[in-house]
Amino acid sequence: MNHPWTKLSNGSARPTTAPAADSPHASDLAGLLTHEDADRARDRWKVGRARREEGRSKGFGRFLVLWLLVGPGVLVFLGENDAPSMLSYSATGARFGVGFFIPFVVLTFLMGLVVQEMTVRLGAVTHRGHAELIFDRFGKFWGFFSLGDLVLGNFLTLVTEFIGIRAGLGFFGVRPSVAVGVGLLVVFAAITTGRYWTWERITLGLAIFNGLFVPAALLARPDWHQVGHALLTWTPLPHGNSFDILVLLLADIGATVTPWMIFFQQSAVVDKGMQPRDISAGRVDTLLGAVLATIFAIATILATAPLFHHGIDASQFQAAQFAQALRPWIGRAGAALFALGIFEAGIVAAIAISTSSAYAFGEVLGTGHSLNQPMRDAWPFYSILLGSAVAAAALVLIPHAPLEFIVLIVNVVAVLAMPPALAFLVMLVNDRDVMGDAVNGAWANVAAVVVTVLLIVAGLGFGVATVFPHWLSWL
Amino acid sequence: MNPADATPEELGGGAKAGAPDMDDPRAVLSVLEADQIVAAKQGTRFGRRKLSSGERVVLWGLRVYVVIMLVLVVISAFRVIHSAP
């Protein structure tokens, strides 16, 4: 089709914010509308109605607008509080107790917030997913590198989600095959609606159970004075094997900033139909997600801190073993909450990460890539979504599969793959041809560069420690 | 009526009072931006941007960084697994 908009191909693209009805090509477009457009328009109409309500009743109207626009930000942060992340936080609490890592986790979420805010603007202004924009603006060569990082990271992470699902339900005596089957069933059930809005609300409903770590933490009776002291002073500093500390630092960073989050949130913002005027609500959504995820992450550290105080060696613990070991201090109910939390973390992340892979492939292949499309119209999209989940689930059930290896490297790989992903993100969000006036301001660029440099330094520290392990003994 | 002149209120008559019928293209076009329409997006592409030499150096540098670091991660993980009791 020689569509009038092909003039954008010459690189002189400019974002438009006018309704399609005001376009000179409105009558052309009217004959080309799809089921996906109609579903997205329904969601947009509700937002418009809420904005009119906001004009009449500020408090309720504002809440209504926020209620309709909250989603991608909360999902991405609670999705990233996934099984390997909660395992990292558990290991942090069990091995170092309350101290340096509490404010460090807050810092990592601040880094995540800086990154994710940029994806909101990119998605709302361009209406394009991240993979699509990288392929468009940087070409196939860089596009496939970027997609390769995403696919590798996503698959490894998905495997660890199913390990978490298996371990979480395993605490209650559920057989591994049944646990993994339940996980797959939930992923499938979420997408059968053929509607982004319903999928988002179902997944948000599940994601809220990430808060199960809060009662588990309260049952551990944390010393709040010590928590406040740690937050303010970053002490006591961690002691012990320097390489282990370095790996845990990297794992905790990888628990908050990863490439899949960039791809997922931008695509979800597009699928939700957010527009430039929704950017401030998108920022609130992202902030809310970051705050909730920070609270739940710190709760996990506090829940496992009794293991540190009682000198339990947790260096070889897996997810369910933390729950078992905590029973003497947080009781059977607390341990059960902890195990359910690990199960939930795996389920929500499995949904979000498999969707992120499907979005990216759909955008690159040029096939349908929206949860507003029915399965029969976008079968490649849904096939990748379900196929990646099934492959990861199957690997977890294969005897002698290298699961320990995957668990060890997954968050570290996420940190190492992040700087190139951030470079593309920063270049795109500073690209005036793509973003118009919504390009990054000076402070956003400074923050993005600081985050990128921190990630590179952390990665290089890991590299040096691997090649020259004796250097760490000097520290 | 020209679609461009339609508003959701004017396009009422859907299932719920006040809610426009989204099977009517005018209603859809009145709430979505032009480049939000799937067909418009399929027909358009943001063109390739020209990378400066500095940008190329950064992208290649980061690519080499990732490859080297991934090799180190694999080495490190093997060490940990083989040193486990």
Burial of A102 (0-12, 13-18, 19+ CB in 10 A): buried
B73–A405 CB contact, under 8 Å: no
Residues 6+ apart with CB under 8 A from A329: A219, A220, A306, A310
Distance from CA of B27 to the nearest CA of A (A): 8
Contact B31 A19 (CB under 8 A): yes
The whole-angstrom separation of Cα B29 and Cα A33 is 9
What was the pLDDT predicted at B15?
44
Kindly indicate the confidence band of residue B6, based on its pLDDT and cuts at 50, 70 and 90. very low
Query: Quick one: closest CA in A to B45, which residue?
Result: A9
**Class at the top of the CATH hierarchy for domain A78-474:** mainly alpha
Residue of A77, A180, A96 whose CA lies nearest to A403: A180
Contact B66 A149 (CB under 8 A): yes
- Banded model confidence at residue B85, pLDDT cuts 50, 70, 90: low
Residue type, A384: I
ipTM: 0.83
CB of A419 within 8 A of CB of A257? Answer: no
SS3 at position B51: coil
Question: Exposure string (b/e) for A267-295, b if CB count within 10 Å is 16 or more?
Answer: bbbbbbbbbbebbebbbbbbbbbbebbbb
What per-residue confidence (pLDDT) applies to A100? 95
Burial class (CB in 10 A: 0-12, 13-18, 19+), A372: buried
Distance from CA of B60 to the nearest CA of A (A): 9
The DSSP symbol for A332 reads: H
CA A296/CA A337 separation, integer angstroms: 13
Q: Is B57 exposed, middle or buried (0-12, 13-18, 19+ CB in 10 A)?
A: exposed
Q: Check residue B4 and give its pLDDT.
A: 39
Answer for the pair A450, A257: CB distance below 8 angstroms, yes or no. no
pLDDT in tens, chain A (475 residues): 333 333 344 444 455 567 777 777 777 777 788 999 999 999 999 999 999 888 787 788 899 999 999 999 999 999 999 998 998 899 999 999 999 999 999 999 999 999 999 999 999 999 999 999 999 999 999 999 999 999 999 999 999 999 999 999 999 999 999 999 999 999 999 988 889 999 999 999 999 999 999 999 999 999 999 999 999 999 999 888 787 888 888 888 888 889 999 999 999 999 999 999 999 999 999 999 999 999 999 999 999 999 999 888 877 776 678 899 999 999 999 999 999 999 999 999 999 999 999 999 999 998 889 999 999 889 999 999 999 999 999 999 988 777 777 877 888 888 888 999 999 999 999 999 999 989 999 999 999 999 999 999 888 888 887 777 776 665 5
A35 interaction partners in chain B (CB closer than 8 Å): none
Q: How many angstroms separate the CA atoms of A163 and A180, rounded? A: 8
Contact criterion met (CB < 8 Å) for B40 and A5: yes
The answer to whether the beta carbons of residues A246 and A457 sit under 8 Å apart is no
* Secondary structure class of B85 (helix, strand, coil): coil
User: Of residues A132 and B16, which shows the higher confidence score?
Assistant: A132
What is the distance between the alpha carbons of residues A149 and B70, in angstroms, rounded to a whole number?
Answer: 11
8 Å CB contact between A69 and B73: no
Q: Which residues of A16-38 are buried (b: 16+ CB within 10 A; e: fewer)?
A: beebbbebebbebbbebbbbbbb
- Looking at residue A260, the DSSP 8-state letter turns out to be H
Give contacts of B70 with chain A, Cβ < 8 Å: 413, 416
Contacts of A438 in chain B (CB under 8 A): none
* Cβ neighbour number for residue A422 with a 10 Å cutoff: 23
Q: Do B84 and A316 count as a contact with CB atoms less than 8 A apart?
A: yes
What is the C-alpha to C-alpha distance for residues A378 and A198, in angstroms, rounded to an integer?
A: 17
pLDDT score recorded for residue A475:
53
HSE-CB of A105 using CA atoms within 13 angstroms: 33
What are the C-alpha distances in Å from A224 to residues A55, A161, A220, A250, A268?
A: 43, 31, 11, 26, 37
Residue A368: how many CA atoms within 13 Å on its side-chain side? 19
Q: Cβ contact (<8 Å) for B66 and A44?
A: no
Among B37, B59, B77, the residue with its CB nearest the CB of A142 is B59
Maximum Cα interatomic distance, chain B, rounded to a whole number of Å: 78
pLDDT the model gives residue B44 = 82
Residue with tokens 């936080």: A89
Per-residue pLDDT, B14:
43
Q: Do A409 and A159 form a contact (C-beta atoms < 8 A)?
A: no
CB-CB under 8 Å, A26 with B72: no
What is the predicted pLDDT for the residue at B21?
85
> Is the CB of A40 less than 8 angstroms away from the CB of B68?
no
Contacts of B80 in chain A (CB under 8 A): 408
Counting Cα atoms < 13 Å in the Cβ hemisphere of A69 gives 30
Q: Is the torsion defined by CA of A34, A37, A43, A44 positive or negative?
A: negative
What are the CA-CA distances from residue A15 to residues A127, A224, A437, B39, B42 (Å)?
A: 9, 49, 9, 16, 15
- Measured distance CA(A161)–CA(A349) in Å, rounded: 7
Give the model confidence (pLDDT) of B24-82 as tens digits.
Answer: 888 999 899 988 999 888 888 888 999 999 999 999 999 999 999 888 888 887 877 77
The token duo for A393 is 């689930």
Alpha helices in A310-374 (DSSP H): 319-365
Q: Are A85 and A231 in contact (CB under 8 A)?
A: no
Q: Which residues of B touch A9 (CB under 8 A)?
A: 44-45, 47
